[in-house]
Amino acid sequence: MTDDHDVDETPAQAPAQAQAPAQPDAPSPAGSTPLTPADAADAARLIAFGLQPKLQPARDAEYTELLRRHRDDPAFARLADAVAAGLGLVVLEVSTRAGMAVTAADDSVFAVRMGDYARRATADSGDRFLHGLAHLAVAAMAFPRPEDLADDGYIGRVTVNGVDAFVRQACRRLEERAAEGGENTDPASDAPGLEAAWRVYARRTATGATKDARRLAGSTTGIIAKAVAFLVDSGFLQRTGDDAGGTYRTTPRYQLQVRDMAGSAAMTELLELGVVPVGDGRPTLLPPDDADDLELVADAGLPFHS
Amino acid sequence: MSVRPLTLCDVTSPAPAAVPPQLNGPHRPAPGPAADEGLARRLRALACTAPLHDLDARKANLAGEYGVYAMAEVALAAIDLVTLTMDFDTGADHEQIVTRLLPRVAAQAPERPQSEHERVARWVLENLINVGSADRGFRVVYGTFGTDGAYVRRDYDFKLIEEVPGPGGTVFLRATDEAVNVLVGALDTDVTSAQIAAEVKLEVLVSRGRLADAQLAAEQARYRTVQYAETLRKTLDATRRNVRAVDWLNTVPDMIAEALDHVADRYRHENAILTNIRKVRDEAASGVDPEHKRRAAELVDIVKDCIRRHTQLQSRLLEAGPLFRAEQDRQAFASPAARSGLDLYGQLLAPVLTLPLERAGRVTDAFFARGTGLRTPSSVRVGDLVELLLTPPAEREHLGAEMPEPDLIATPDDSRFSEEQLASAMELLTLPADAPRRLSGLLADARLRDPELPYLVALLAVHAASPAVGTAYRQGESSLLFAVDDGTPLDDPGFGGADLIVGTALLDAAGMAADRSEGV
């Protein structure tokens, strides 16, 4: 509703807008120009652009102009940020490469809820976990090294089958480690919540033949395919091909979202659970050197950190 | 292993102090976990056979008289087929397995229709995949005594045939390790040592001439080879994905060298076996027992297949080096990062996977809530809704897009001679049987009719120098053009060579027909 409102208002403001950029140009050193309703409309318009995540700034002259104004005019920038905050949005970055990168704050009307995302996930904790894990795994595959996540110019590439194989491999490694201990690690029957997470993934089928030759929705590749399709709609991934179940590349927005929002939120949750990945306090440039739990797995054929 | 301390630390925090007295205590409630572990392993092995027994138990529930079919036998055959068909890269094709199962199913009930045979084969295969369950796998519950003496029921999840994605979105079947283990009968054993054991056994058997056993052992060796290749493939795939975590300086080259040594060793070993069997086969060939000979020949094929699989494995190993180097280059030449980011895999994904589901779910929920971006809530206008509801559904294209009419282009006729010229030349060459002519005269005649014609006549005459008598005879021709060189040189402005005598030979058509009917 909000963006509809903004869009409706713009034509009416078009003449006002023509003079609006002219005003700050001249007295900008003073910075004391009072903001007009036209400026508020422009700020809201910029947020409206940000709410269309698949829209690329370079493709729209008006979007580019508003981004430029956000950069050059501090008062306008503050106004735009205030509009975003009022709508329940968090501004991640405003730049020509990422556009007006906004994301939903907690409890915002724009937030995505698991129940809306996957119907089955509300009833089944295993399915809920798998859907969440798929998103985490896509991010981990898209930015395999810490440097990749930090490097603004990095473009990650993921494939659906690649993500599945990569998580499966990690699960297998854990299975081998569990078997190495010689202890019986099969989960107890009456406490499904205590089952190790990797088991839930490992025992789910990777794919499955269906009558209409579509992907089996409940299989792990089906769940991952759903995740990447959703991320494409969020403007986080772009489809580049059909190989290996679908190939995708990341957008700057996805990097921002993972780096500034999702990664830290999940990390906080993990720390609250009392799990402290060793070496967390300092930058991890070379994972093998700093983490105790990244020891080489013996007899694995190839060295692999799990 | 990190699962254990995490889950148990709340429950038995003074564990190190509590456990020793319990182990030495006079009233241990049950055999210790060490003794139980062997039992658990056997229970799991037993569980893997359960789906097969289950097939025979449940066939009564199928609509129709399916009692005659031995479902467990079909199932084992299916697992056999999948194991042997699955290769280094792909798996077995679903339809192909069904087709290859059909002869066995048909043999069990030859009087039944083929559609029923196919239905049985499909039913067995689908049950081995366990299509009905969400995991497409099996779960068996069994009980063990824990370290504290408490009896715990546990779930054992396994698959017999799993579906894996193939190239181009297809789905392939693969036999799981559990299935291969059940099939081979060597439960829960180390892949490498079992392979060596199987080969030693084979060598002994071959040297003693016990071929029936040798064939069984050779097949087992092949199952092991397939399993071994599968293990290495999975590991190589993993390395390809996660290069950053690999020690390229020492560990990887060592490992590749080790694996290559292993392949070379197996290759030598299997070649030795091959030589041995060939000797046996050739000795058997001169002997009396054709069965022996057949067995030996089959054995040669099996060992050849083993060698082929090892060679395939070796080429994979050789490709690994350049791949690592390329990845290394890509990462080493990248400019160092201005700031360091979060290690998503090492710090998030890997620890999460080790957590119990309940706790892991909280982390993934947090990632999901912040990592999926935003959705603008859609608000529906009544006007749009009415229009939407009244729009007829788009017709689904069953036959695909319409084929465009092909645009045919006539190929130009580039024959040297026209039909008329050929007819004219043939007319000229239609000579009475008793009056052959010289080529020079024919050429002169031809030149009068058409300046191009002599070429065609010369060509036909040269052709006639070696007439297709056999063909003419078979086709029942009554006459045949022939040309003979009597040594007279050709005197002609356009051509040189021998002045051939061209004539027509009469063939005895009736006699030939009689001969033919006698021949038949």
**ipTM value:** 0.75
Name the residue among B242, B245, B374 with its Cβ closest to that of A104. B374
Range B424-446 average pLDDT? 85
- Within a 10 A sphere around the Cβ of A180, how many other Cβ atoms? 13
Rounded distance between C-alpha atoms, residue A31 and residue A33, angstroms: 6
Query: What integer is the mean pLDDT of A179-191?
Result: 70
- The answer, yes or no, to whether residue A21 has pLDDT greater than 50, is no
Is the confidence at residue A231, as pLDDT, over 80?
Answer: yes
CA distance A76 to chain B (A): 24
Q: Which residue has the higher pLDDT, B466 or B516?
A: B466
**pLDDT value, residue A178:** 77
CB A218 within 8 A of CB A201: no
- Mean pLDDT over B233-249 rounds to 55
Give the residue extent of every domain in chain B: 17-188, 191-330, 419-519
Min Cα distance A210 → chain B (Å) is: 9
**Which tokens belong to B52?**
């097969």
Residue B247's nearest CA partner among A179, A144, A297 is: A297
Could you tell me which residue, A204 or A11, shows the higher pLDDT?
A: A204
What pLDDT does A10 receive? 39
Q: Give the lowest-confidence range in A85-89, B284-288, B483-487.
A: B284-288
Residue at token pair 């971006």: B373
Query: Do residues A159 and A246 make contact, with C-beta atoms less than 8 angstroms apart?
Result: yes
Chain A residues within an 8 Å CB radius of B344: 136, 139-140, 143-144, 149, 258, 263
Answer yes or no: is pLDDT of A2 > 60: no
| A29 pLDDT above the threshold of 80 | no
Sequence-ordered alpha helix ranges (H) in A105-219: 114-117, 125-142, 146-150, 160-180, 197-203
Residues near B224 by Cβ (< 8 Å), separated by ≥ 6? Answer: B184, B191, B194, B195, B198
Question: Do the Cβ atoms of B237 and A207 come within 8 Å?
Answer: no
pLDDT, tens digit (0-9, with 9 covering 90-100), for A141-172? 888 777 777 777 778 888 888 888 888 878 88
Identify which has the larger pLDDT, B402 or B359.
B359
Mean of the per-residue pLDDT values for chain A? 73
The more confident residue out of A302 and B326 is B326
Chain A residues close to B372, C-beta within 8 Å? 112, 117, 135, 230-231, 234
Percent of chain A with pLDDT over 70: 75
pLDDT at residue A197 in the model:
82
Task: Work out the minimum CA distance from A114 to partner chain B, whole angstroms.
Answer: 8
Instruction: State the residue for tokens 């009896």.
Output: B151
Crossing angle between the packed helical segments B94-108 and B114-129, to the nearest 10 degrees = 120
Q: How far is B232 from chain A (nearest CA, A)?
A: 7
The pLDDT, as a whole number, for residue A14 is 40
CB contacts, 8 Å: A206 with chain B: 162-165
Query: Is some CB atom of chain B closer than 8 A to the CB atom of A78?
Result: no
Task: Test A205 with B357 for CB contact under 8 angstroms.
Answer: no
Instruction: List Cα–Cα distances, A159 to A66, B71, B217, B445, in angstroms.
Output: 35, 39, 41, 78
Best mutation target among A136, A232, A259 (most B Cβ atoms within 10 Å) is A136
What are B27's two structure tokens?
Answer: 């009233």
Chain B's closest residue to A258, CA to CA, is B371
Residue of chain B minimizing CA distance to A205: B135
User: Mind listing the pLDDT tens digit for each residue in A54-66?
Assistant: 888 888 888 888 8
